[in-house]
Structure 1
Amino acid sequence: MNATIADTYEIAMGRWSRRLSRSFLDFVAAQSCGALIDVGCGTGSLTLAAATRYPNADIVGIDLMPDYLTDALRSSAPNVRFETGDATALPFTDDSFDSAFSQLLLNDLEGPAGAVSEMVRVTRGNGRIAASVWDRVGGLPFIRLFLDVAAIVAGQEGEDLRAKVFDIPYQNEDDLFDLLSEAGLEEVDTSTIAVRMDFIDFDDYWQSLMGAHSLIRHFFGNLPADLAHEVQQATMRAYLGGKPNGRRSLVASALAVRGVVPV
């Protein structure tokens, strides 16, 4: 059976984004009732975590890709609805929500400031705006492990891949602080959140890796067969660390920021 986009994301990142959601919501500290919006909700990890934490809130999850918004997801919680829409042009009127948050979206957008501006527009005064992104350069070791191997084994092509994956906006807490401050938010604060990524074995790690980033999939899929085998074997040796195949645990970090909409 062919895996859907939602299935691929769940294997690659969904399980980790669910873990991140719980700690991120602790940091967000949103109101326990009212109207909340999850911008760039994907397969709903943060949306559903919010629905469980805030059963008296009305929560909207919105994402540009309708393939993420499966029938099962749409019917998963009574206080949630899902819609298709662009984070940089949210289909809601001004002051529609009491809080707006976004997880693992901003540094994949061409215009992150536009998305923040929209979150501010649709949120009432004194409402909370918050976002989190993976610390991709220094805090995402399951990707870093492969990219360093690729740079060594595949030469310039591998080095170019590593540069592209890491060449993103908002690579540290200061960048995120400036992003929300420049959007006019008050009481801006940042934090780094740790998430443990547990893999059953190398095959589990590899499956997650290949679903994690389109550039990685494209790079590996287009390597000559002998070089692809060499890269995979070298990555496996790095994963195993001289021990038998089996469970490994890598700690990732996410950068989080929050602020308050002025009255």
Structure 2
Amino acid sequence: MTTSAADIYEIAMGRWSRRLARAFLAFVDAPACGTLLDVGCGTGSLTLAAATRYPSAHITGIDLMPDYLGEALLHAAPNVKFETGDARALPYENASFDTAFSQLVLNDLAEPQKALTEMLRVTRPGGVIAATVWDRSGGLAFLRLFLDAAAILFDGDGEALRARIFNVPFENEDALLDLWADAGLTEIGTATLSIRMDFLDFNDYWQSLLGSHSLIREFFTSLDAEAAHSLQTAVRRAYISGGNDGRRSLVASALAVRGVAGNT
């Protein structure tokens, strides 16, 4: 049976994005009713968390990947609908939603500014627009264990991999604040949201890691057997930290921003 992109995402990041969704929604503080739009909804972690938090609201999740939406539909709620579409060209009329938000998407888009412009266009004046992204270089310990080991063991290629994954447009709260301000939003606030990534053992961690980012997976699978063993051993030593293999709880943080839409 072929493993889909949605399956890989759920194993690697789905459980963590669901935890983050709860913290993010508390930060967004959207109205308890009305219409909400989740842009780049993926497998529906944020959309479905919003459905639980706001049972009187009507929530739309939109994503470009039908495979992800297929996974989301398995857990659909009565007040939710999922649609296929591009974050940079949303298929909705102006001022269609009371709130628009996006989780873990902006740093992976080729044109994040265009996505924000679209979110602003489809949100009614006075509505909330918010987003969150992983704090990759400073807040993802589970990535650091691997990327630092790769950079030490494989000077050039390992260093390049770490730089490529950490080189994202919005690497701190100020960068997100500037994006929101440049778009004309008001009452802008930012925050760093933290969750725990709990792993049963190193194998659980390793499976999550390899599914977390295609560049990590491609790098590891490109190594010869001896190099791959050396890297996995080094990462395992970092994971167990001088103790026995078993449960570990690593901190993960995300950067969040919210603002209020004016007249467009």
TM-score range, shorter chain: over 0.9
Per the TM alignment, residue 2 of structure 1 is displaced from its structure 2 partner at its CA by 3.1
**d(CA) in 1 for partners of 2:225, 2:75:** 43
Aligned residue type for 2:236: M
Q: Give unpaired runs (5+ residues) of structure 1.
A: none
* Cα separation, partners in 2 of 1:185 and 1:74, compared to 1, 3 Å: farther
Per the TM alignment, residue 74 of structure 1 is displaced from its structure 2 partner at its CA by 5.5
1:215 counterpart = 2:222: no
Tell me what 1:7 maps to. 7
> Map of 1:35-114 to 2, 5 A cutoff?
35-70=35-70, 73=73, 76-114=76-114
**d(CA) in 2 for partners of 1:75, 1:231:** 37
**d(CA) in 2 for partners of 1:194, 1:185:** 25
SS at match of 2:76: coil
Aligned residue type for 2:169: P
1:130 counterpart = 2:130: yes
Number of residue pairs the alignment of both structures matches? 263
TM (normalized to structure 2)? Answer: 0.98
**d(CA) in 2 for partners of 1:102, 1:148:** 29
1:204 counterpart = 2:192: no
Per the TM alignment, residue 155 of structure 1 is displaced from its structure 2 partner at its CA by 1.8
Tell me what 1:232 maps to. 232
Q: Residues 74-122 of structure 1: CA distance to partner in whole angstroms, max 9, x if unpaired?
A: 6620110001111000011100100000000001111111000000000
* Cα separation, partners in 2 of 1:250 and 1:71, compared to 1, 3 Å: closer
Per the TM alignment, residue 221 of structure 1 is displaced from its structure 2 partner at its CA by 0.8
Tell me what 1:33 maps to. 33
Aligned residue type for 1:105: V
Asked whether the equivalents of residues 12 and 212 of structure 1 are also in contact (C-alpha less than 8 Å), the reply is: yes
**d(CA) in 1 for partners of 2:157, 2:257:** 34
Tell me what 1:23 maps to. 23
Aligned residue type for 1:173: E
Aligned residue type for 2:110: E
**d(CA) in 1 for partners of 2:34, 2:14:** 26
Asked whether the equivalents of residues 128 and 258 of structure 2 are also in contact (C-alpha less than 8 Å), the reply is: yes
Tell me what 2:159 maps to. 159
SS at match of 1:129: strand
**d(CA) in 2 for partners of 1:200, 1:71:** 24
Aligned residue type for 1:158: G
Per the TM alignment, residue 73 of structure 1 is displaced from its structure 2 partner at its CA by 1.9
1:169 counterpart = 2:169: yes
Q: Residues 194-234 of structure 1: CA distance to partner in whole angstroms, max 9, x if unpaired?
A: 01000000000000000000110111111111101110111
Asked whether the equivalents of residues 98 and 123 of structure 1 are also in contact (C-alpha less than 8 Å), the reply is: yes
**d(CA) in 2 for partners of 1:128, 1:92:** 17
Per the TM alignment, residue 71 of structure 1 is displaced from its structure 2 partner at its CA by 6.2
* Cα separation, partners in 2 of 1:14 and 1:71, compared to 1, 3 Å: closer
Aligned-residue identity in percent = 65
SS at match of 2:139: coil
Asked whether the equivalents of residues 74 and 81 of structure 1 are also in contact (C-alpha less than 8 Å), the reply is: no
**d(CA) in 1 for partners of 2:49, 2:204:** 25
CA RMSD of aligned residues (A): 1.0
**d(CA) in 2 for partners of 1:226, 1:211:** 22
